[in-house]
Amino acid sequence: MATSKGVATHCPYCALQCGQWVDGKGSVDGREFPTNRGGLCQKGWTAGRLLTHPERLTSPLLRPSRSADLAPVGWDAALAHVSRQLAALRAEHGPDSVAVFGAGGLTNEKSYLLGKFARVALGTSQIDYNGRFCMSSAAAAGNRAFGVDRGLPFPVTDLDDAEVVVLAGANIAETMPPLMGHLGGARLVVVDPRRTPTVERAIAGGGMHLQPVPGTDLVLALGMLHAAVTDGWLDADYLADRTTGFDDAWRVAAQWWPERAERVCGVPASDMRTVVGWLGAASRRYVLTARGAEQHAHGVDTVTAWINLALALGLPGRPGSGFGTITGQGNGQGGREHGQKSDQLPGYRSITDPAAREHVAGVWGVAPDALPGPGRSATELLAALGRPGGPKALLVFGSNVLVSAPDGNSVADRLAALDLLVVADVFPSETAMAADVVLPVAQWAEEEGTMTNLEGRVLRRRRALRPPAGVRTDLEVIAGLAAELGAAGFPADPRAVFDELRAASAGGPADYSGISYDRLDAGEALHWPCPAPLPGAPVHPGTPRLFTERFAHADGRARVVAVEHTEAAELPDDEHPLRATTGRVLVHYQSGAQTRRVAELAGIAPESFVEVHPDTATRAGLADGEWARVVSRRGTATARVRCVPSLRPDTVFLPFHFGGEQAANLLTNPALDPISRMPEFKVCAVRLEPMA
């Protein structure tokens, strides 16, 4: 869809997928679209700088030996080298000696074809993706409670009329600025250890900041559920008609009266009761969670506790109210629906379900028994690299694991232990520069495809200009590798891939079979599930709002699941007396591999920093503006001190966008949630030291 303004597409960054115009020279303008209404954040406005950036990768690179430098080679040589290495490793050590690591920024087509490539062309179970670091806890909690996982089970525009919105672990004023435009009329309650710009907006609008000790969000939610019951805000009719399990959940929450919860989480009991009263008295109210609630070794239970509160108040599925999770990465929703995740097949099917395996195998033209079973989760996969019984080769598409994965020193050691590391990327990221083979791929405005935003709405990504000479799309790379390995059935045309995805997803929870490029290009707003119609029936309009009549469990009821507080996997001690938490800043995105290359953005935030309460800094012998060493049990990161009086004295904060010695994930704990396998990014014990 092209006009005089350019081609209509979407921003390459977060899951809002704001509408953009991109012209043939790479200039970007805001486009009217429901999520952004013509506006963009600083990242979106400057995204066009990446299209002509001088550091762009434009030729495959090959390292002849581990002691040699990367050098340009042709595509034929690069693909032949990779396929020979993969074939030799599989022949000697079996198919699971080769692993694949994907990303939540890949299009639906890439996610689908990558999962098929791993399981059919390679025959490996060892595939996962960086969405495991982002949405896995919320996904597991949503599936457990509602029977299906979709970040927002309602359109973003439903928030426009909200009276009260609780944001548990979300700093959207920095991470998704256009979303704030949908909350302008709401009283905001922000749960965050920091006084963020989102908190400032909340307080200015008559809302509230609930500032828990990092790792105690679940206690706060239990205390608020207790207040909902004892203060008379429980929606008993809703619970009786639409849920099961409340009595068991209440037996736990009954022990967490707000005053007891205050002693653990640090939030005043009176504030808990006030917020519950606001939610209970409002007719249009929402509870939304994000990474702050999820990136814990008990993240599934923490999100579940917030779901329980929402169910107790009768929010999910009720017009003008609801519970949702703010998806982070651009295709964080679609990326986990179509096969990148180690335990899933396309259409959000379980890889252990015999019926799901039979359906997908039929689409792929293989026997169900030929499909591997579930593999390792992302953190466990990285930890197994190069070890006995672990993968000896890794193919990475669109992820910068050296910066984004927890316990970065260990990840670097594991990558160095591989026989083969292949990275497909746009820029020479930290991970790409550690690779044996680097494959240059196209960017968002240079390719066709679809994305699925945080509302479950499927969107068209359109090509505005061709990629530079020597650059291929990820689909072309996957198809080329499959051909080198002798595997048929891997088209490189995105429409052909999407049509196959539609067939593979048909009948699954995330059913895309009724969605087509033609319908999307005609401007239809199609949210999954959108099944193909039966013969003679009208086309399905899509499902913008889930749960209006029933939840996705067989009995139609939501599950209120009893959850109890557990301590963070790592607590402070005399040697590491502070709790470190990580997050994002306004101008950077994910590992910073893109935004750190945009001069305007890098000029605003050129280096890492550590936010510290002034008293804490003084005790550590530090002053504002000095460089500090932040030391955990796993590693040390350097950061410039920012004294922030509103921060808890027991807490420090670092952004995770920077690499090298400034990488926050040199500190973080790879302890995993037992259900989602999410690492504990939000809490680790540290100390501060002056730089030598």
**Confidence at residue 66, expressed as pLDDT on a 0 to 100 scale:** 81
Calpha distance 692→684 (Å, rounded): 24
Rg of the chain in Å (alpha carbons): 24
Tokens standing for residue 20: 């953009």
Burial of residue 239 (number of CB atoms within 10 Å: 0-12, 13-18, 19+): buried
Pick from 620, 643, 623, 642: which is nearest to 631 by CA?
620
DSSP helix/strand/coil, 299? helix
Question: What is the rounded distance in angstroms from the CA atom of residue 471 to the CA atom of residue 441?
Answer: 5
Per DSSP, the chain holds a count of helices (H) and strands (E) of 24, 31
Location of each CATH 3.40.228.10 domain in the chain: 136-325
Which pLDDT does position 3 carry in this prediction?
75
The one-letter amino acid at 489: G
Superfamily, domain 136-325: Dimethylsulfoxide Reductase, domain 2 (3.40.228.10)
Tokens standing for residue 4: 């005089």
What is the residue type of 680? E
Consecutive H or E run containing 292: helix 291-294
Give the largest Cα separation in the chain, rounded. 76
**Helices 217-230 and 269-281, axial angle in degrees (round to 10):** 60
241-270 burial by CB neighbour count: b if 16+ within 10 A, else e? Answer: ebbebbeebbebbeebbbeebbebbbbebe
pLDDT along the chain (692 residues), means of 10: 84 96 95 96 96 97 92 97 97 98 97 98 98 93 97 97 97 96 96 97 97 97 98 98 98 98 98 98 98 96 98 97 94 92 96 98 98 98 97 98 97 98 98 98 97 97 96 98 97 98 98 98 97 94 98 98 96 97 96 96 97 98 98 98 97 97 98 97 97 86
Give the whole-angstrom CA distance, residue 8 versus residue 154.
24
| The two structure tokens encoding residue 500 | 């196959």
- Give every CB contact of residue 232 below 8 A, 6+ residues apart in sequence: 280
3-state secondary structure of 423: strand
Distance CA 140, CA 138 (A): 5
The CATH 2.20.25.90 portion of the chain extends over: 2-52
Does an H or E element contain 617, and which?
helix 614-619
Please give the helix or strand (H or E) that residue 450 lies within, else none: strand 449-452
Q: Topology of domain 578-690, per CATH?
A: Barwin-like endoglucanases (2.40.40)
pLDDT confidence of residue 365:
97
Per-residue pLDDT, 2: 67
Q: For residue 103, what are its two tokens?
A: 């990303």
Q: What is the rounded distance in angstroms from the CA atom of residue 610 to the CA atom of residue 463?
A: 40
Instruction: For residue 277, give the amino acid letter.
Output: G
C-alpha–C-alpha distance, residues 123 and 98, integer Å:
9
* Single pTM value for the model: 0.96
Do 464 and 48 form a contact (C-beta atoms < 8 A)? no
pLDDT at res. 65:
86
The yes/no answer on whether domain 2-52 falls in CATH 3.10.28.10 is no
The C-alpha atoms of residue 510 and residue 91 are separated, in whole angstroms, by 36
Burial class (CB in 10 A: 0-12, 13-18, 19+), 58: exposed
Note the residue count of the chain. 692
Measure the CA–CA gap between 487 and 478, rounded to whole angstroms.
11
CATH 3.40.50.740 in the chain: give the residue spans: 80-132+334-527
The answer to whether the beta carbons of residues 507 and 347 sit under 8 Å apart is yes
User: Hey, what are 463's tokens?
Assistant: 């090509």
Give helix 474-484 / helix 75-93 axis angle, nearest 10°. 50
Residues of the chain with CATH 2.40.40.20: 578-690
CATH class of domain segment(s) 80-132+334-527: alpha beta
